[in-house]
């Protein structure tokens, strides 16, 4: 049986090191399920695989997009499945790793067939958002799809905007396209969740942000500052430094906000992942790297 090992968990937990050694053990490749690592030029701020790591283990869906490109979870589902099918021709085990919750769900469970949005319509909606904020978009969504309006996180501008785009594009409520049915996959999925005790995870996150700054995150963010309005850059690590470039925040304060917002994001990730009863969890505060690696191998072999 063909297998896909999905190594997931919060940012900073230690997914990269384990995924590399797991790939070495199975002589296989890694597919990125990190929604920001898809973009070229964001290597430092997204902790993308280094050139050395890329030369040791083949990685897929990393640095494949321009910062201006639009890329959805449904497009990721399509590309990831095509890549897995190709890799499974020569290896029974493929690894996917990342912390982007919606993209991992799309890969493992499938995503509803929502119509593709016309680019001109997308530009119009985002222009409204840039000019007047999220409130007028919320009002339109409430009028066109009150069911989804009552359940969506109204602070999550991406989901609110996307739902309105679908309503305007199709003339139908966004909720009418959501079936939440699980799609079959031609391979066995093994979900391995990595976690750490909160204090240890937070310490690792803080240290990683410091390392990113020492590795050139400030220059990377400055390079993309003229394009700060793009959706791909509305992410932790960049948006805080943009406020520094705007003169709104001091640099030290911006760095502390990166750490704080990364810690908040890690909590959101864990809340999302813990809903999935299929995930087999390994606590890296209790298991060494080698012990965790052997646990994953044992679980994979048992399910062959």
Q: What angle do CA 237, 240, 244 make, to 5 degrees?
A: 125
Q: Rounded CA gap, 49 and 261, in Å?
A: 22
Q: Domain count of the chain? A: 2
Residues 233, 140 within the same domain: no
Q: Which among 177, 209, 225 is the end of a domain?
A: 177
Contact status, residue 223 vs residue 39, Cβ threshold 8 Å: no
- How many other β-carbons are positioned within 10 Å of the β-carbon of residue 11? 21
Please check the confidence at residue 74 and state whether its pLDDT lies above 90: no
CB within 8 Å of 115: residues ≥ 6 apart: 166, 169, 170, 177
Pick the residue with more confidence: 118 or 202?
Answer: 202
- 111 — pLDDT class (breaks 50, 70, 90): confident
Residues 95, 225 within the same domain: yes
Query: Which of 151, 28, 25, 137 is closest to 88 using CA atoms?
Result: 28
Residues 170, 34 within the same domain: no
* CATH number of the CATH domain containing 237: 3.40.50.300
Residue 226 has a pLDDT of 96
Contact status, residue 60 vs residue 50, Cβ threshold 8 Å: no
Alpha helices in the chain (DSSP H): 15-26, 51-56, 73-87, 101-109, 119-132, 135-144, 146-149, 157-170, 198-214, 217-224, 239-245, 251-273, 289-302
Mean pLDDT, rounded, of the chain: 94
Residue with tokens 């760095």: 255
Q: Rounded CA gap, 228 and 208, in Å?
A: 23
Residues 14, 150 within the same domain: no
Range of the domain at 283: 3-112+186-302
Q: What is the mean pLDDT of residues 88-107?
A: 95
Residue 301 has a pLDDT of 92
Q: Rounded CA gap, 63 and 116, in Å?
A: 23
Please check the confidence at residue 96 and state whether its pLDDT lies above 80: yes
What's the pLDDT tens digit per position in 164-220?
999 999 999 988 887 767 899 999 999 999 999 999 999 999 999 999 999 999 999
Contact status, residue 7 vs residue 100, Cβ threshold 8 Å: no
Q: Rounded CA gap, 193 and 10, in Å?
A: 9
Residues 195, 287 within the same domain: yes
Q: Rounded CA gap, 263 and 165, in Å?
A: 31
Residues 93, 133 within the same domain: no
What's the pLDDT tens digit per position in 6-50?
999 999 999 999 999 999 999 999 999 999 999 999 999 999 999
Strand order in the sheet with 280-283: 59-60, 30-32, 93-98, 3-8, 188-195, 280-283
Contact status, residue 94 vs residue 23, Cβ threshold 8 Å: no
Residues 241, 95 within the same domain: yes
Residue with tokens 């030029």: 41
Residues 272, 223 within the same domain: yes
- 118 — pLDDT class (breaks 50, 70, 90): confident
Q: Which among 177, 197, 224 is the end of a domain?
A: 177
What's the pLDDT tens digit per position in 209-267?
999 999 999 999 999 999 998 888 989 999 999 999 999 999 999 999 999 999 999 99
Least confident among 6-15, 85-94, 145-154: 145-154
**For residue 4, what is the enclosing H or E element?**
strand 3-8
Bridge pairing between strands 3-8 and 188-195: parallel
Residues 142, 225 within the same domain: no
Residues 161, 25 within the same domain: no
Query: Which of 26, 69, 27, 19 is closest to 48 using CA atoms?
Result: 19
What's the first-to-final CA gap in the chain, in angstroms?
6
* CATH number of the CATH domain containing 153: 1.10.20.140
pTM: 0.85
Residues 107, 216 within the same domain: yes
3-state SS record for 156-215: CHHHHHHHHHHHHHHCCCHHHHCCCCCCCCCCEEEEEEEECCHHHHHHHHHHHHHHHHHC
Residues 58, 148 within the same domain: no
Residue 232 has a pLDDT of 87
Q: Which among 127, 152, 177 is the end of a domain?
A: 177
Q: Which residues lie across from 206 on neighbouring strands?
A: none
Residue 116 has a pLDDT of 79
């Amino acid at each position: 049986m063909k297998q896909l090992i999905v190594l997931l968990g919060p940012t900073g937990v230690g997914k990269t090191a384990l995924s590399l050694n797991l790939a070495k053990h199975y002589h296989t490749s890694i597919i990125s399920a990190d929604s920001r690592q898809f973009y070229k030029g964001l290597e430092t701020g997204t902790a993308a695989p280094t050139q050395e790591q890329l030369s040791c283990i083949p990685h897929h869906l990393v640095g494949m997009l321009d910062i201006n490109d639009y890329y959805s979870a449904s497009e990721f589902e399509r590309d990831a499945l095509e890549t897995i099918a190709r890799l499974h021709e020569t290896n029974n085990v493929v690894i996917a790793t990342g912390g982007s919750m919606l993209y991992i769900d799309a890969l493992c469970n499938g995503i509803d067939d929502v119509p593709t949005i016309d680019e001109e319509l997308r530009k119009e909606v985002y222009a409204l958002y840039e000019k007047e904020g999220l409130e007028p978009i919320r009002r339109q969504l409430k009028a066109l799809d009150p069911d989804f309006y009552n359940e969506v996180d109204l602070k999550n501008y991406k989901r609110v905007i996307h739902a309105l785009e679908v309503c305007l594009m199709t003339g139908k409520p966004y909720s009418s396209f959501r079936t939440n049915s699980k799609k079959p996959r031609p391979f066995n999925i093994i979900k391995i969740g990595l976690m750490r005790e909160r204090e240890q995870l937070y310490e690792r996150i803080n240290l990683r942000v410091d390392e990113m700054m020492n590795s050139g995150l400030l220059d990377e963010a400055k390079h993309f500052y003229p394009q700060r309005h793009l959706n791909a850059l509305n992410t932790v690590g960049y948006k805080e430094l943009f406020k520094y470039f705007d003169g709104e925040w001091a640099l030290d304060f911006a760095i502390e906000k990166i750490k704080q917002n990364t810690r908040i994001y890690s909590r959101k990730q864990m809340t999302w992942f813990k809903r999935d009863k299929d995930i087999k969890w390994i606590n890296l505060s209790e298991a060494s790297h080698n012990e965790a690696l052997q646990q994953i191998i044992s679980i994979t072999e048992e399910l062959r």
